[in-house]
Structure 1
Amino acid sequence: MHTKQIIQTGKQTGEATKALVMVHGRGGSAEDILGLANYLPVNDFALFAPQATNNTWYPYSFLTPPKENEPWLSSALAVLKDTVADVQATGIKTENIYFLGFSQGACLTLEFVTRNATKYGGVVAFTGGLIGDKIYDQNYAGDFAGTPVFIGTSDPDPHVPVERVHATAEILSGMHAKVTKKIYKNMGHTISQDEINLVNELIFKEL
């Protein structure tokens, strides 16, 4: 099970009015994902990066039946819930909380926000989709109320089928997220400069 370990950096809470929750991928770390902030216009943000036990949020593919990834999956979702509660406790409003995840972290991020849909600042998923051997619609509730969401992926990707990305975008759009989906031919399992440029324009632009 995961213990709550959150690295906090960026602008001091109490001063920051916006926060970015950054979720690392399988084999990655909170420190790794925080490095991405150097490429984003988030100088005014408080940054929160939870750390997975053994650097993995859940043991098997995100396309495995969810019960086979338990209790790790529920524990990982609970860590994100705790992270959001920590952000809110600093006085930052939910509509000013942003999320960013890569790979396994993108899947976890999408799963969390779709189970807890509300008006967020924005959501960035670099290569990810909703979790499960199929889409479990009954798990998802709420209204994104126009939250901007970016999902980028390679076609093909060794871990994330493009069909799941399409299905995920459809679910989020149906819950009133403003989804931008970008499929890159043979990009590989990485984050491209084009994706960075797009999220800076669509998600982190000065409001």
Structure 2
Amino acid sequence: MSISPNGARMSSQNNVKWVGSKNNMNLNSPLKLIAQTKGNNIKNIIISLHGFGDNAANFSSLANEINIDDVLWLFPQGPKNYPMGIEGAQWFPLFSDPKEERRVSEDCILQIMYNAAEQCKLETKKIFLLGFSQGAAMAVHCGLKSKEKLAGILSLSGFMIQPHVIKSSYSGDPIDTPLFVAHGNQDQVIFPATYFDMLDSLKDMGAKKMRSKMYSMGHNISQEEIRDITKFIEEYR
């Protein structure tokens, strides 16, 4: 059992919904989670975090767009409902103090990551953290703040949370985890200037392996971007 952010007790196992054939692993999750395996031999885990107001079920269609075998896809859902959306969720509020709920989300994401690694008998360096928009902010925050060597962190149309906190945790050590940072030059939700600020911050922190690209699009994921995501994952898996 675990405690949800609103204090209610919930069964971790009952939170996991398998798409397709169910794997025998005993996945536990403090959040609603959609899991999907591709291939017969899991070599990597891709934890994918949806954007503000979206949900795990909708974002899980990404697994069908990225053609990579021998992968366990995990799509957690933000712990708090987004009251203005239909079945929408959020990782932290945008219109009130986010610190406590952001910490809850961070703890839940890392718990999912470590549990999945244990169940698949994989090291964390075989795990990708991917996110879109607010989910990208959480992927970068969790992946870098934890200081675990991951297979890669992918930020799609995102932004950075408290870069000074991440920078201070490294104390001059380089960031070994490969990074993929993508954004749309017509994004009216998270302005393109945020993308350039993020690149400057990551370079200043000592990111050694960083790939970045600006796409001709708005606040969405394009087919060109899908192809680049696939190449990045295949290169660093």
TM-score interval (norm. to shorter): 0.7 to 0.9
1:128 is the counterpart of 2:158: yes
Deviates more, 1:50-59 or 1:167-176: 167-176
Question: Residue 87 of structure 1 aligns with which residue?
Answer: 116
- Quote the Cα distance in structure 2 between the aligned partners of 1:200 and 1:155: 21
Tell me the SS of whatever aligns to 1:71.
Answer: helix
Question: Residue 33 of structure 2 aligns with which residue?
Answer: 6
Tell me the SS of whatever aligns to 1:68.
Answer: coil
Deviation at 1:72?
1.4
Matched-pair contact (CA < 8 Å) for 2:39–2:69: no
Deviates more, 1:87-96 or 1:148-157: 148-157
Deviation at 1:193?
1.1
1:31 is the counterpart of 2:54: no
Question: For residue 33 of structure 2, what is the amino acid of its counterpart?
Answer: I
Superposition pairs of residues 79-118 of structure 1, within 5 angstroms: 79-90=108-119, 91-118=121-148
Deviation at 1:50?
0.9
Could you report, residue by residue, the CA deviation over 1:134-155 in whole angstroms, capped at 9, with x for unpaired residues? x44134434432x321111123
- Quote the Cα distance in structure 1 between the aligned partners of 2:236 and 2:149: 17
Matched-pair contact (CA < 8 Å) for 1:149–1:178: yes
Question: For residue 61 of structure 2, what is the amino acid of its counterpart?
Answer: G
Superposition pairs of residues 133-172 of structure 1, within 5 angstroms: 135-140=162-167, 141-142=169-170, 143-145=174-176, 147-172=177-202
Deviation at 1:41?
2.8
Question: Residue 180 of structure 1 aligns with which residue?
Answer: 211
- Quote the Cα distance in structure 1 between the aligned partners of 2:147 and 2:201: 11
Deviation at 1:12?
8.3
RMSD: 2.4
Question: For residue 36 of structure 1, what is the amino acid of its counterpart?
Answer: L
Question: For residue 51 of structure 1, what is the amino acid of its counterpart?
Answer: Q
Question: Residue 97 of structure 2 aligns with which residue?
Answer: 68
Matched pairs, number? 196
Deviation at 1:177?
4.1
TM-score, normalising length from structure 2?
0.74
Tell me the SS of whatever aligns to 1:41.
Answer: coil
- Quote the Cα distance in structure 1 between the aligned partners of 2:55 and 2:208: 28
Deviation at 1:101?
0.9
TM-score, normalising length from structure 1?
0.83
- Quote the Cα distance in structure 1 between the aligned partners of 2:223 and 2:210: 19
Question: Residue 93 of structure 2 aligns with which residue?
Answer: 59
1:195/1:109 CA distance change after superposition, 3 Å: same
Tell me the SS of whatever aligns to 2:188.
Answer: coil
1:21 is the counterpart of 2:55: no
- Quote the Cα distance in structure 2 between the aligned partners of 1:205 and 1:12: 18
Question: For residue 222 of structure 2, what is the amino acid of its counterpart?
Answer: S
Question: Residue 119 of structure 1 aligns with which residue?
Answer: 149
Matched-pair contact (CA < 8 Å) for 1:7–1:48: yes
Could you report, residue by residue, the CA deviation over 1:41-69 in whole angstroms, capped at 9, with x for unpaired residues? 332111111111311111106xxxxx811
Question: For residue 234 of structure 2, what is the amino acid of its counterpart?
Answer: F
Matched-pair contact (CA < 8 Å) for 1:20–1:99: yes
Tell me the SS of whatever aligns to 2:189.
Answer: coil
Tell me the SS of whatever aligns to 1:119.
Answer: coil
User: Unaligned 5+ residue runs, structure 1?
Assistant: 62-66
Q: Percent identity?
A: 23
- Quote the Cα distance in structure 2 between the aligned partners of 1:177 and 1:21: 22
